[in-house]
Structure 1
C-alpha cells in the first residue's frame, strides 16, 4: 500500500517532468520560429496577444537568435497547477528566471505575458 506522502511526491515529480518537457518544447518552438509556440501560451496570454502579433515576435526571435539549446533548467516551484522555472542559454539575454507556468486542461503552458 502506498502512503499519501509518497503519492504526493510521485505526483510532484510527474508534474516537474511534464513541466520541463513543456518548457523545452516552448523554447524550441519559439526560437525555432514555429507557430506552435502560440499554442503553448496560457489562455490569459492568448487573450492579451493575437496569434499574428505573437508570430511576429517568434519570427523576430528566430531570425535574431535561431534555434538555441537550453543550457540549464531548474524547476523553481510546482504547486498544484502553477509552476516557476529558471532556464538559461549560451546567450544570457534569452535567460528566463522564475518564469510563470500554469497547467490548463492537463497541459503546462507559459504564463509570462
Structure 2
C-alpha cells in the first residue's frame, strides 16, 4: 500500500472508531434549554437588567437614598451623599422622570459587567455606553464614578 493510501485508511478507521464510540454521555439525558451554565447566565443577565432599570428609576424619581445605596462601595467612598442628592434633584427638575428605553448587557465577567442603555436623551445616552457595574453581596451596584 502506498503512503497516501495508508494515511487515508488510517483516517477512515479513526473516523469510524470515533463515530462508533460516541461520547461518554450518550445515555445521559439532554439538559433542557436554559439550564446549567446558560440558565445561570440568563439569571445573572436578568438580575443585572433589573438592577440597571431600578437604579435609573431611582435616579430620575429622584429617590436619592435608594440610588445612593445602589452605588458601589468604591463610588460611595468618592461621592458625598448630600451632593449626590442635590445632583439627582437637579436632574429630575431639568429632565423629568426618565426610564431605560433600551438596554444591552455588553459583558459579564464574574462579578463585573458592562451595560449600555439609553433613556431617550442624547446628553445622557452618550454617557451610558459600557457602564461598569460590580456585584457585591449578591447585588449589582453602579460603578461609574
Greater strand percent: which structure? 1
TM value normalised by structure 1 = 0.92
Partner Cα distance (2:47, 2:82) in 1: 28
Equivalent in 46, 54, 66 of residue 96 of structure 2? 66
Matched pairs, number: 111
Q: Which has the higher contact order (CA 8 A, sep 6+)?
A: 1
Moved over 3 A (4+): none
User: Which of structures 1 and 2 has the bigger CA Rg?
Assistant: 2
Deviation at 1:51? 0.8
Unmatched 5+ stretches in structure 1? none
1:112 maps to which residue?
144
Equivalent in 11, 29, 40 of residue 58 of structure 2? 29
Unmatched 5+ stretches in structure 2? 1-28
Partner Cα distance (1:40, 1:57) in 2: 15
Partner Cα distance (2:83, 2:136) in 1: 22
Which deviations, in whole Å up to 9, do the C-alpha atoms of 1:37-90 show, x marking residues without a partner? 000000000000111111111111111111112221100011111110000122
RMSD over aligned Cα, in angstroms?
Answer: 1.5
